[in-house]
Amino acid sequence: MRNTLALILTLGAASPAFAASGPFFSLGNTDFVVLLGFIVFIAVLFYFKVPGMIGGALDTRAEGIKSELDEARALHEEARSLLASYERKQREVQTQADAIVAAAKDDAALAAEQAKADLEQSIARRLAAAKDQIASAEASAVKEVRDQAITVAVSAANAVLAKQMTAAHANKLIDSAIADVGEKLH
């Protein structure tokens, strides 16, 4: 604490105000000379209208900054409107995409239904064709069995008739068959 008090007294005693000696309003006093130089400097600045130029430059700069701010606001508003426009377009595109997806789903459902109907028709045709083939095979089998039965019956009848038939009786049958054929042909 003692050291800081000594330092403050030493610095205070060495100030330039205490370096001048004599009366204040004399040219020998440096403080008075500096004050006169400062007043002359300020007078020269006012004579050449430096504060006006500085004010004008500051006003010009302020106007430039204001115009840049106005331009920035305008650009900001334009950017907002563009953003809103793009967001609107994006919503429209999203709506169109949703509509396309919905239409594609509907088309897919219709195609699936059509394919199901076509498959059912194809199965029905194949079943009908299979039934026709079965009926045809059944009819063929029945015909074959009948033909076989007729062949067996004729063979059996031949065998029975051959055992029971005499030559005179055979001649009589032949004559009667020839007569029947002659009547039917005429």
87: phi then psi, degrees, rounded to nearest 5 = -65, -40
Q: 10 Å Cβ neighbour count for 157?
A: 10
Counting residues of the chain whose pLDDT is more than 70, the rounded percentage is 87
Task: Provide the mean pLDDT of the chain.
Answer: 84
Does a structural domain hold residue 110? yes
Instruction: Judge whether residue 100 has pLDDT over 60.
Output: yes
d(CA 94, CA 100): 10
Domain that holds residue 123: 49-146
Q: How many residues does the chain have?
A: 186
Question: What is the number of structural domains in the chain?
Answer: 1
Structural domain contains residue 35: no
CA-to-CA separations, 101 to 95, 96, 98, 108, in angstroms, rounded: 10, 9, 5, 10
Alpha-carbon span 138 to 133, nearest angstrom: 8
Look at residue 20 and give its three-state secondary structure: coil
Residue 20, in any domain of the structure: no
Q: Judge whether 67 lies within some domain.
A: yes
Q: Does residue 82 fall inside a structural domain?
A: yes
In a domain, 130, yes or no: yes
Q: What is the structure's pLDDT at 146?
A: 83
Asked whether residue 79 is assigned to any structural domain, the reply reads: yes
Quick check: is 179 in a domain? Answer: no
Whole-model pTM: value is 0.39
Residue 47 pLDDT exceeds 90: yes
pLDDT at 157: 76
DSSP state of 18: G
